[in-house]
Amino acid sequence: MIFPLGYASIALLLTGASARPHSIFQELHVNGVSQGHVIGIRAPYYNYPTTNVSAKDIICNGVTHAWNLPLPDKVIPVPAGAQVTTEWHASIYGANDPKWANAEPIGADHRGPILAYLAKIPDALQENIEGLDWFKVYQEGFDNKEGLWATEKLMRDKGKVSFKIPECIEPGQYLLRAEIIALHGAGKLNGAQFFLSCAQLEIKGEGKVVPAAIAKFPGAYDATDRGIRVSIKSTGPNPTDLKYYPPGPPVFTCQSPNLPWDPTTVITNPGTIPKWEQCGGYGYTGDSACIAPAECVEINGYYHQCQ
Ligand SMILES: [Cu+2]
């Protein structure tokens, strides 16, 4: 059914929608050794973003954003304390898909943080992934020293981002949820774009620790969180004094394993633009978060208004 589409949309379909500069976590390296392309990872087949933090796709995708098939039948062995590297590309076919050559590993305007969580699970291959207790093992937002977003470092590092699996956690089966949040449109409610996949891990070791600061997905994120509904510059340098706070619990560390977290104390962004004033549109470079409860509404391409 193509009648409702304008010429532009039809052209986009015919050219394979090559302009969408999105990203998929699709390969894991353990202590520098690749575990294989899409091996052991529940990754979405296509790079569309999730934008609803309350929907089940925020766990590991796979609901409205179908997983790449066949589903992974491998669980990746990882020693506790290992350095893992998540590898991201615009296409599920890896770095060399010519369709996405200009948007590798993510589009330059898709700026934002990169985060990673772990959750223990009885069997990393099991279908049901609801209700797990997630704890954060990594996050990077905006680096004030270098003036770079985590996604800009990801581009510099050719789609790779590394962090450590805590050495003190209990061994067992886990899911590793790795996530990019692109904030170029995040001044509008539900404008942030979430890209995420989950790797299936068997963590080996002698650890005994069960982290206290746990999060549920959905539940950990609120659409008005100051790290999710936030205006940033998507082109040109962001100010080096920019303060950005990634959403979710604090990063778990073995040094302070009992740090609790209460998701009801999340700080929301109250917005800065009064009702009836401009919050976006072609050429507009100002802040785009309206003072709540007003929301930024697209009147036309040139004028968005807080209403
Ligand atoms: Cu996008």
Query: What's the pLDDT tens digit per position in 68-96?
Result: 999 999 999 999 999 999 999 999 999 98
What mean pLDDT is predicted for residues 186-194?
93
- State the average pLDDT for the chain: 91
Tell me: pLDDT of 53 over 60: yes
In the reported structure, the alpha carbon of residue 22 is separated from the centroid of ligand 1 by a whole-number distance in angstroms of 6
Domain ranges, residue 288:
270-307
Output the DSSP codes for 70-88.
SPP---EEEETT-EEEEEE
Tell whether the model's pLDDT for residue 296 goes beyond 60: yes
pLDDT tier at 237 (50, 70, 90 boundaries)? confident
CATH number of the domain that residue 220 is part of? 2.70.50.70
Task: Tell me how far the alpha carbon of residue 113 lies from the centroid of ligand 1, in angstroms.
Answer: 14
Shared domain check, 83 and 20? yes
How many whole angstroms separate alpha carbon 22 and alpha carbon 112? 12
CA 132 / ligand 1 centre spacing (Å): 28
Query: For the range 284-287, what are the long-range contacts, defined as Cβ-Cβ under 8 Å and sequence gap of 24 or more?
Result: 285/233, 286/231, 287/187, 287/231
263 and 152 inside one domain: yes
Model confidence over 240-293: pLDDT tens digits?
A: 899 999 999 999 999 988 888 988 888 888 888 999 999 888 888 788 888 888
208 Cα–ligand 1 center, Å = 40
Residue 16 has pLDDT above 90, yes or no: no
Return the pLDDT at 11.
39
Ligand 1 centroid, distance to 249 Cα (angstroms):
25
Distance of CA 5 to the CA centre of its chain: 29
Cα–ligand 1 centroid distance for 110 (angstroms): 6
Give the H/E segment covering residue 280.
strand 278-280
Q: Do 277 and 297 lie in a common domain?
A: yes
CA of 49 to the centre of ligand 1 (A): 7
CB-proximal residues (5 Å) to ion ligand 1:
193
* Dist. CA 293–CA 307, nearest whole Å: 9
Enter the pTM of the model.
0.89
Do the domain assignments include residue 192?
yes
- Sequence-distant (6+) residues with CB within 8 A of 2 are 10, 13
Whether residue 295 lies inside any domain: the answer is yes
pLDDT category at 25 given cuts 50, 70, 90 is very high
Q: Helix, strand, or coil here: 171?
A: coil
Distance, CA of 96 to CA of 180 (rounded, Å): 21
Q: For residue range 27-36, what is the model confidence (pLDDT) as tens digits?
A: 999 999 999 9
Residue 151, SS3 per DSSP: helix
pLDDT for the residue numbered 47: 93
Contact (CB, 8 A) for 137 and 165: yes
Give the per-residue pLDDT at 12. 42
Q: Measure 251 CA to ligand 1 centroid, in angstroms.
A: 26
Residue 196 C-alpha to ligand 1 middle, in angstroms?
A: 13
Judgement on whether residues 262 and 278 belong to the same structural domain of the protein: no
Asked whether the predicted pLDDT for residue 4 surpasses 70, the reply is no
Q: Is residue 307 part of a domain?
A: yes
* Co-location of 183 and 275 in the same domain: no
Residue 300 sits in the same domain as residue 226: no
Please check whether residues 263 and 286 belong to one and the same domain: no
The answer to whether residues 296 and 177 belong to one domain is: no
Whether 95 maps to a domain, the answer reads: yes
Tell me, yes or no, whether 2 lies in a domain: no
Structure tokens at 133: 């207790």
The pair of three-digit structure tokens given for residue 221, joined into one six-digit string: 């994120």
Closest CA to 193 of 24, 50, 42, 23: 50
- If you measure from the C-alpha of residue 177 to the centroid of ligand 1, how many angstroms do you get, rounded to a whole number? 20
46: its two tokens = 């296509």
Beta bridge partners of 197: 178
State in Å: Cα 54 to ligand 1 middle: 19
Distance 190 CA to ligand 1 centre (A): 12
Query: Distance between CA 193 and CA 188 in Å, rounded?
Result: 11
* 211 & 275 share domain: no
CA–centroid distance, 232 to ligand 1, in Å, is: 14
**Residue written as tokens 């959750």?**
119
Within a domain: 1: no
**Number of residues written out for the chain:** 307
111 and 21, same structural domain?
yes
Q: How much is the pLDDT for 115?
A: 98
Q: Which residue has the higher pLDDT, 2 or 136?
A: 136
Dist CA 46 CA 267 (whole Å): 32
Domain total of the chain? 2
Average pLDDT of the segment spanning 115-133: 97
In sequence order, the 6+-apart residues with CB closer than 8 A to the CB of 19 are 12, 103
Residues 213-222, mean pLDDT to the nearest whole number: 95
- Alpha carbon distance 292, 278 (integer Å): 14
Same domain, 150 and 27: yes
210 and 118 in a single domain? The answer is yes
